[in-house]
Structure 1
Amino acid sequence: MTSHTNLKRRPYKQVLFVGVVLVFGIALAYKYAGRQLIADFEATKAAVVSDESNNLKTAWRGILDKQNAPVDIAVYDHKTGVTTQSSNDANAQFKTASIVKVAILANLLRQHATNGTGLSNYEDELASAMIQDSDNDAATALLETEGGNTQPDALFKRLGMTHSHMDSESWGYSTTTATDQLTLLKNIFYQSRVLTDSSRTYMQGLMNNIAVDQSWGITAGLTPDATVALKNGWLADKNGWIINSTGHITSKQSDYVIAILSNQNVSEDAGIDLVQQLAKATYTTLNAQ
């Protein structure tokens, strides 16, 4: 009786064993297939990053190699997630001039969000004048309401802008890098844990409506379908002109933030021409991807 029962159970155990083996085998197959898919994806991603960065650097190099003025340029391509940076002078220090006004406003909005308050009508008027018309007196007044020239350093720290520092005497001589400016721009135009959505929308609106006479720099070479939000900076320094242009560009083929910093330009026009050559080369390259 016992022997007969065991004989009946064996086929069931065998089927169960085979089933377990099959499931285990399928799981292993999926595991290794998944690893291969991930590896293929990473390889493709790496190729995209390499190609895009190489194309941009090649386009920039043809311009930078002919220049004596120190330049720092960086671009973050939102479509691919690729960040590319290049400089023809690794030891150069770049002063912000008026592009720091974006940080001044961002920090003021951060302070208000922390305190649960909003801009006063007076602050709103100053902010519009500072960003859209690049009014220097408005920038100074807003810094006073924030608590002084060095207050935006708190924003830099929160955002991880480790190479940006406010000048305690002259805000136009604050220092930064192109990649730090990308960090700020990404927090304004894409997403942020530091700036609220309403703050970001407010800043976008102002930067999208810059005075016509200041619509130069990263606007160069854009096609009719493109939109631009920007803030430029220009300042005559003892060693030449500081010319900077930063902002956000979108078109049918592209979506990116860009920062171009330059100093020691022989003239204002020469600096603007240099920045615009780089901006045009960037737009052409990214729209050809």
Structure 2
Amino acid sequence: MPYSHSISHSKTSARHRGSRAGACAGVLLASMTSLFSFAAVHAAPAVAAPAPSEQTRATAGVDAAVQPQSKPRVTAAVLSLDGGSRKPLLYGEDAPYDTASIIKVDILAALLLQAQDAGRHLTVQERALAEPMIRNSDNAAANALWREIGRAPGLEAANKRLGLASTKGGPGTKWGLTRTTASDQIRLLLSVFDSAATSKTDSPLNKESQAYIQTLMSRIASDQAWGVSKASGAEYALKNGWLQRTASGLWDVNSVGRVTADGHRYLVAVLSDGSASMSDGISLVERAARQAVSATART
């Protein structure tokens, strides 16, 4: 679905945990440097991950200009749900990026928190908006729910409870220009997918709210099934975001979700910008997700 008239929206380093040293760490750092160094990062060939089949001009009003950059940049964050730590491993600089449509998970989390506070379930109409917003990345639905949660102030109030300290809501109606970091996206995913009953990891989202978001992210439309899912086997839950900048023509492509690889569960967030095309951005994100999950599994 379209996102805004300044973007095209189609349906279509490593901070090593602990201090382990030696040969394994050397290999890990060497293997990740070529991808996650901002000075040398390049998108993989477009054929590695073809773009979704349809592309439309968007309609919701994002007109911010960005400065052209010579090379794309990418940051990945990975957290093993089967490990004891609740701090993600980071590959690349944990810098802010525009969210594009990955913000829709956060919008839904904010809506559910507000409903919980009111002691109610989502209405039929709210569900009728939430489901296409996540499964099909429907922008009209996102516009309506962005207004309902109170736009950026409502989002940020929810994010304070969810532990997102580096996410700033987009101005006015421009939810896709919300700024976030990969580590904040892991915190959001943790609030959705973590079921550990400890004071440090209990989510403000109740079990019903968690299950609802998980279900929608696990039933993403087939033309949306790219991104972090490529680091997974058959089981994954995700949300992607993509936009083209008016000033430069370059693409922001992001993907967040839970994946299962070799029997282990991971939360993964990959944020990128500066790709020459959407398909280049998808290839970059998928390559980053695969390498980051593989590297994390070896730590």
Matched residues, number: 241
Q: Find 1:228's aligned residue among 225, 236, 240.
A: 236
Q: CA deviation at 1:256?
A: 0.8
Q: Find 2:90's aligned residue among 61, 66, 85.
A: 85
Distance 1:229 1:196 in 2: 19
Residue 272 of structure 2 aligns with which residue?
Answer: 262
Distance 1:51 1:150 in 2: 48
Q: 1:47 to 1:69 in 2, by over 3 A?
A: same
- Structure 2 residue runs without a partner (length 5+): 1-16, 43-70, 196-201
Q: 1:164 to 1:273 in 2, by over 3 A?
A: same
Read off the aligned partner of 1:176 and give its amino acid letter.
Answer: T
Q: Contact 2:132/2:141 (CA < 8 Å) preserved in 1?
A: yes
CA deviation digits over 1:225-278, x for unaligned, max 9? x41000000001133101000000124432110100011111111111100111
- Map residues 177-196 of structure 1 onto 2, 5 A cutoff: 177-191=181-195, 192-196=202-206
Residue 110 of structure 1 aligns with which residue?
Answer: 113
- Larger deviation, residues 278-287 vs 244-253: 278-287
Residue 76 of structure 1 aligns with which residue?
Answer: 79
Q: Contact 1:254/1:286 (CA < 8 Å) preserved in 2?
A: no
Residue 125 of structure 1 aligns with which residue?
Answer: 128
Q: Find 1:66's aligned residue among 25, 31, 41.
A: 41
Q: CA deviation at 1:287?
A: 5.2
Residue 228 of structure 2 aligns with which residue?
Answer: 218
Superposition TM-score, scaled by structure 2 size: 0.74
Distance 2:29 2:211 in 1: 32
CA deviation digits over 1:92-130, x for unaligned, max 9? 530000000000000000000011011111110100010
Read off the aligned partner of 1:279 and give its amino acid letter.
Answer: A
Distance 2:21 2:270 in 1: 20
Cα RMSD (Å) of the superposition?
A: 2.4
Q: Contact 1:178/1:260 (CA < 8 Å) preserved in 2?
A: yes
**2:212 is aligned with 1:202:** yes
Distance 1:126 1:54 in 2: 48
Q: 1:55 to 1:198 in 2, by over 3 A?
A: farther
Q: Contact 2:75/2:272 (CA < 8 Å) preserved in 1?
A: yes
Q: CA deviation at 1:46?
A: 3.9
Distance 2:216 2:21 in 1: 32
**2:274 is aligned with 1:280:** no
Distance 1:178 1:134 in 2: 20
Read off the aligned partner of 2:180 and give its amino acid letter.
Answer: T
Read off the aligned partner of 1:200 and give its amino acid letter.
Answer: Q
Q: Contact 1:150/1:168 (CA < 8 Å) preserved in 2?
A: no
SS where residue 252 of structure 2 aligns? strand
Residue 4 of structure 2 aligns with which residue?
Answer: none
Q: Contact 1:162/1:180 (CA < 8 Å) preserved in 2?
A: yes
Q: 1:193 to 1:285 in 2, by over 3 A?
A: closer
Q: Contact 1:53/1:84 (CA < 8 Å) preserved in 2?
A: no
Read off the aligned partner of 1:66 and give its amino acid letter.
Answer: V
Read off the aligned partner of 1:87 and give its amino acid letter.
Answer: G
SS where residue 165 of structure 2 aligns? coil
**2:146 is aligned with 1:146:** no
Q: 1:104 to 1:55 in 2, by over 3 A?
A: farther
**2:165 is aligned with 1:137:** no
Read off the aligned partner of 1:63 and give its amino acid letter.
Answer: L
Residue 25 of structure 1 aligns with which residue?
Answer: none
Superposition TM-score, scaled by structure 1 size: 0.76
Distance 1:85 1:114 in 2: 34
Percentage of matched positions with identical amino acids: 34
Q: 1:51 to 1:193 in 2, by over 3 A?
A: farther
Higher helix fraction: Structure 1 or Structure 2? 1
- Larger deviation, residues 116-125 vs 63-72: 63-72
